[in-house]
Structure 1
Amino acid sequence: MTATATIQQIWCLRQATGTDLGVVQALSGLAPAQVLSQLGVSSIESFVRGIPEVVGAMDSARSDPDNLFITTDTSGDLDNSIWPHGNTTVDVQAGQSLTPGITLPVSFSQNISLFDHDSASGNDLLGSITIFESERGAGEIAKLAKSEVESSYYYVTYRVD
């Protein structure tokens, strides 16, 4: 039976702002993946918000939102978006979380890429994660999708059944 992954939450730790070395350094120590039951927390957001350097980085973020859409490829084409539907985007800023509820088949591995829609200069990759079939039954997993070029940091929480 094919495994399925359900994207439960996307939490924006920092939306794309361009390069800010101090903020990038504060965020660089974040773990790339966490099994939430091992942290003893109910959400990645509550865990990360407890780290003082991260709180400061979030507070320094600009107010321009990312126009978020998600693909399973790395082309960055809004026409290939799997969420939201209808070639649309969702405005997201630091500290906001979304619950897309996307369910995808996973045969060995599945890429998830987050993009910022930009009609003027091309869409910007905000970060990607890879979901593995071998994660089936591990419970909720949170992985960091980041772009050092865009200085964006998002946690994607999912489970594989």
Structure 2
Amino acid sequence: MSATATLLDAYCIRAATGTDAAVNEAVSALAAKIPLNSIGTTLQSFVSAVPQVVAAIDTARSDPDNLYITTSTEGDLANAVWPGNGSPGTVGSGQTQLLGVSVPVDRVQNVSLWDHDDVSSDDLLGSIRIEEAERGEGPIARLATSSVEGSLYYVTYRVD
């Protein structure tokens, strides 16, 4: 008989950044494309500070994630196991979202957290791997993270 994992909650340590990773990369690459020595120190100082400014703006905005959870590595709100009503839940940094959803575990089960976007493709916030061998160990917390999105979540679950 296969196991069942009950997803208890998701604690958001840090919500995804509000800036696009491609924009951050383009800004970071900007200094390599401008001959700063011939332009002057004012522009050089500005270009050097831009990545920190982007990070500060993003921190100040602290937009919550439009969270949904799938058991696959494909983001699609229609396939969400949580919240499962066709709309995402909202969670911000320092907040816990109660889940209370069960998923089957046949040896290993992937659980992925997503940020739903209306105007672009959804962003993967991180994934965890639940193993059938964890049955009976009680509540377990695993870190789900995305270096691209800058998100950090702990997902708590138990396997019965």
Which bin holds the TM-score, normalised by the shorter protein?
Answer: 0.7 to 0.9
Q: Secondary structure of 1:101's match?
A: strand
1:155 maps to 154
The answer on 1:100 being equivalent to 2:99 is yes
Q: Which has the larger radius of gyration?
A: 2
Q: Deviations over 1:85-140 (max 9, x none)?
A: 22111111001001110111111011100000012111000000010000011111
Q: Secondary structure of 2:99's match?
A: coil
2:139 maps to 140
RMSD: 1.5
Amino acid at match of 1:7: L
State the shift of 1:61 in Å.
6.7
Summarize the alignment of residues 58-137 of structure 1 with structure 2, pairs less than 5 Å apart.
60=59, 62-137=61-136
Amino acid at match of 1:9: D
Amino acid at match of 2:10: I
Greater helix share, structure number: 2
State the shift of 1:149 in Å.
0.1
Q: Aligned partners of 2:154, 2:147: CA distance in 1, in Å?
A: 15
Q: Aligned partners of 2:142, 2:7: CA distance in 1, in Å?
A: 11
Q: TM-score, normalised by structure 2?
A: 0.72
Q: TM-score, normalised by structure 1?
A: 0.72
How many residues were matched structurally? 122
Amino acid at match of 2:114: F
Q: Aligned partners of 2:148, 2:62: CA distance in 1, in Å?
A: 18
Identity %: 57
Q: Is the 8 A contact 1:61 1:94 kept in 2?
A: no
Q: Is the 8 A contact 1:71 1:80 kept in 2?
A: yes
The answer on 1:10 being equivalent to 2:10 is yes
Gaps of 5+ in 1: 21-59
Q: Aligned partners of 2:61, 2:113: CA distance in 1, in Å?
A: 19
Q: Aligned partners of 2:157, 2:60: CA distance in 1, in Å?
A: 26
Q: Secondary structure of 2:133's match?
A: helix
Gaps of 5+ in 2: 25-58
Q: Aligned partners of 1:61, 1:8: CA distance in 2, in Å?
A: 30
Q: Aligned partners of 1:159, 1:61: CA distance in 2, in Å?
A: 35
